[in-house]
Amino acid sequence: MKRFTLLTLFAFSVLFFASCGGNPEGSEAEVTDAAATTEVAGASNYTVDTAGSLLTWKGSKITGSGHEGTLKLSEGTLKVEGGNLVGGNFTINMNSLDNTDLKGTEGHAKLLGHLKSDDFFSVATNPTATFEITGATAKTGDTTATHDISGNLTIKGITKNLTFPAKVTLADDKVEATAEFFFDRTLYDIKFNSASFFEKLGDNAINNEIGIKLSLKASKAAL
């Protein structure tokens, strides 16, 4: 029975980040070393609505069906000056990590346990991840995105600067921002079953890319 349980856990864990192969949907984030942040004088603070905001994840095995899930934000602030997004940050509660496609099955809890382990996100020692905006450049001629957003993403204590397109709307003292992109998980020491680091994995190899969909809502903070 113990052998069956361990094999079952392994089977579910190697299916993490599974899809039909290839990269997740969205744009590939440009990744560089951590960048300095700048404070814009006179910027107004907009408090992120943590209940109304959501981050969803998806990834891929080299073959097979997919897994996806959600993460919740614990706090956040966006900064606006002259009608433009100029900065901000938010904190991701890694203990809120959830899987949506295995809900109601024995595999759900087993998969979450493995994702929170040191094979993946080391949640016990890294209960939060953070994103701090380092730049927001307006785009023209793009119907799907209004800005290129750059920011320092910290996971497991490792910080990299990511740049990706986003759609930002400012109206009636509210800000809404959406983005869809993917990045290389191994840059954050998440190497489980990565063919870049382990040989002879065959169909058990997990793609390096993590797909992210982000939906942020924020309202102007009271003075």
**Highest mean pLDDT: which range of 5-14, 54-63, 137-146, 201-210:** 137-146
Q: Any idea what the CATH number is for the domain that residue 138 is in?
A: 2.40.128.110
Rounded distance between C-alpha atoms, residue 121 and residue 171, angstroms: 36
Residue 138, class by beta-carbon neighbours within 10 Å (0-12 exposed, 13-18 middle, 19+ buried)? Answer: exposed
Calculate ∠ Cα 147-144-101, nearest 5°: 105
Whole-angstrom distance, CA of residue 88 vs CA of residue 90:
7
The helix/strand count (H/E) of the chain reads as 2, 11
Cβ atoms within 10 Å of 161's Cβ, excluding its own: 19
122 vs 222, which has greater pLDDT? 122
Q: Counting beta carbons within 10 angstroms of the beta carbon of residue 183, is it exposed (0 to 12), middle (13 to 18) or buried (19 or more)?
A: buried
Is 197 within 8 Å of 211 (Cβ atoms)? Answer: no
Summarize pLDDT for 128-172 with one digit per residue, the tens: 999 999 999 999 988 899 999 999 999 999 999 999 999 999 999
In this predicted structure, which of 7-16, 132-141, 175-184, 185-194 has the lowest mean pLDDT?
Answer: 7-16
- Whether residue 208 is contained in a domain is answered as yes
CA angle 120, 122, 123 (to 5 degrees): 120
Q: What is the pLDDT of residue 218?
A: 98
State the pLDDT at residue 15: 39
**Predicted local distance difference test score (pLDDT) of residue 64:** 54
Judge whether 142 lies within some domain.
yes
Specify if 102 maps to a domain: no
pTM: 0.87
Nearest to 98 by CA among 42, 39, 58, 46: 58
Least confident piece of the model among 56-65, 145-154, 161-170, 202-211:
56-65
Indicate whether 111 belongs to any domain.
no
1 in any annotated domain: no
For the chain, the straight-line distance linking the first and the last C-alpha, in angstroms and rounded, comes to: 61
Decide the pairing of beta strands 174-184 and 206-220: antiparallel
Domain, as residue range, for 156: 27-54+72-96+119-220
Say if 131 falls within a structural domain. yes
Local confidence band at 201 (pLDDT 50, 70, 90 cut-offs): confident
Query: Which residues touch 79 (CB under 8 Å, ≥6 apart)?
Result: 40, 43, 44, 45, 46, 85, 86, 87, 88, 133
For the chain, the domain total comes to 1
Note whether residue 110 is domain-resident.
no
* Overall average pLDDT of the 212-221 stretch: 95
- Give dist(CA 217, CA 208) in Å, integer: 29
Assess if residue 213 is contained within a domain.
yes
